[in-house]
Amino acid sequence: MLKNFYPRKVKMFCMKRPKNLVILKAVVFVFVMSLYFIVLIKESMNVIESNAKLKTVTASKVDNSKQKHHFHQRSVTKHKPSKNHHNATLKPPESYLIPNPKFHKQAKTTKPTTTTTTTEKSSFNQSATIVVDLDAHRSTTLNPVYEYSEEINAKAEKDFIERRQHLHDVCEKNKILGKITPNAWEFFISPGHGLAWCNVFKAASTTWMYYFNLLAGYDPKYLQKTITTPLELARKRFPRPNIDDLNEAVENSITFLVVREPFERLLSAYRNKMEDGKNPYYKLLGDQIVKKFRTMPITKIEIPGPTFNEFLQFVVQHYKSGGRFDEHWSPIYQFCTPCSINFTLIAKMETFQRDTEYIIRQAGLETLLLNKVPKTKEDKITNRSSINNTNTVIEKYFSQIDENLLKQILEIYQLDFDLFNYDSTRYLKMVQKSENNDSKFKLYNRLDFGDDVNESKVFS
């Protein structure tokens, strides 16, 4: 009897009072939503607790590093400049490349495990000493890309000093030291880790974007599966900074950028964005370039977009029109403004692995970043295959253009060649000879940023 009583009772209850059924559904809905919010709050608390633990570990590491050597300071403290130290991003040329507290502590000669490299004339017109604690490197590094080598480290230090000095000299020679408006917009700044990076696209940007997403606290498995772009993820945790943010980073952090041979970077951008025609935006831009610059019909063309010659013509016209460049082929002297911002380190693609590990070690982030790129995603994240391929085919592409077009392109990118000590003369042997060879052209005639013009509007 009890078996049949309750179903019948409930059924009669629902049929006689339909409003009670609505109330019952509402109660069930509220109960389910309450459980959902409880789980959500619990997950949020776990994330907050994880971040707190990370900060605690970092703080502990700072204390240990400070005890070992001044060079490994990890805390971000307010740096009080002396009377001769000015803000590098806003002051006149004489204040350019201010000493960075992380890299200009005097050497302690009493420590036998410390190696020092001293420059008689540094890029900021002062003697400076770069100090490296060998014991700290050996004891804190987990899974290094290569075993620590004093010889490799010393060579890296020497290269970094020479690159900074060379950059300073070229900026000074061209009378643009501190003259270009600083561009803080493209920086990723992580005060808690003491890093500030200018993201040069097509110059190991994918690798360092991955590293910054690790610093942001994203799980590596999530980074491999998510459809959200790495740039979007990173900007959620590292918003675009303003000048004040950049000034503080210059004084308290390791500021760095990665550079690449200008024409190799330009060709890489063309092949990735224009040649395959897969990206909708660049497909539209490529169609406009073809419509504007293709003078003769090309049959059996192997690429869906513009030829390299047509693309370079577009770049030249866009430059002359005063428009702002796409980030993938914008000259670095405009994009990161190295003549107006104090970069502690200038890494290069030619020595990328060594330079990257050096930066990670000096920031004390070995356990967080070294050897953290998944083996299955290594080629994709580091873009090794793309980089090597670009080097092998560069002559093939530049043989499509003539000498006059090369000189017009050099008018845009020659300063990048000079600032980062690359040779542009080799391309004269690759290009076609021009009958009307006008060798007179002016370099660096437009060093400002120009208006923020969308490149797709150039042809309107």
Q: pLDDT for 428-446, tens place per residue?
A: 999 998 765 544 444 444 4
Contact 182, 89 (CB under 8 A): yes
- Cα(166)–Cα(95) distance, rounded to whole angstroms? 17
Contact 157, 117 (CB under 8 A): yes
Contact 295, 312 (CB under 8 A): no
Considering the chain, what percentage of its residues have pLDDT values greater than 90? 50
- Is the pLDDT at 313 greater than 90? The verdict is yes
**Taking phi first (over 0 means left), then psi (-120 to 50 degrees means alpha), and beta for anything else, what does residue 325 get?**
beta
**Residue reference for tokens 């030291």:** 177
- Cα(242)–Cα(209) distance, rounded to whole angstroms? 20
Phi and psi at residue 254, to the nearest 5°: -80, 110
3-class DSSP assignment, residue 132: strand
H/E stretch holding 346: strand 345-348
Beta partners for 345?
Answer: 256
The b-or-e profile of 347-361 (16+ CB within 10 A means b, else e) is bbbeebebbbbbbbb
* pLDDT at residue 41, as a whole number: 81
Q: What end-to-end distance do the CA atoms of the chain give, in Å?
A: 84
**Residue reference for tokens 């806003």:** 90
Contacts of 449 (CB under 8 A, 6+ apart): 181, 183, 324, 334
Contact 93, 172 (CB under 8 A): yes
The pTM score is: 0.66
Most confident of 20-34, 118-132, 264-278: 264-278
Residue 236 is encoded by which pair of tokens? 């959620």
- Cα(295)–Cα(322) distance, rounded to whole angstroms? 24
Phi and psi at residue 98, to the nearest 5°: -65, 150
User: Could you give the count of Cα atoms lying within 13 Å of 219 in the half-sphere of its Cβ?
Assistant: 6
* pLDDT at residue 40, as a whole number: 75
**What DSSP character marks residue 47?**
H
Beta partners for 190?
Answer: 195
Contact 186, 327 (CB under 8 A): yes
The residue ranges of DSSP E strands in 165-240, in sequence order, are 187-190, 195-198
**What DSSP character marks residue 114?**
E
- Cα(28)–Cα(179) distance, rounded to whole angstroms? 66
- Is the pLDDT at 295 greater than 60? The verdict is yes
pLDDT in tens, 160-211: 999 999 999 999 999 999 999 999 999 999 999 999 999 999 999 999 999 9
pLDDT band at 257 (very low <50, low <70, confident <90, very high): very high
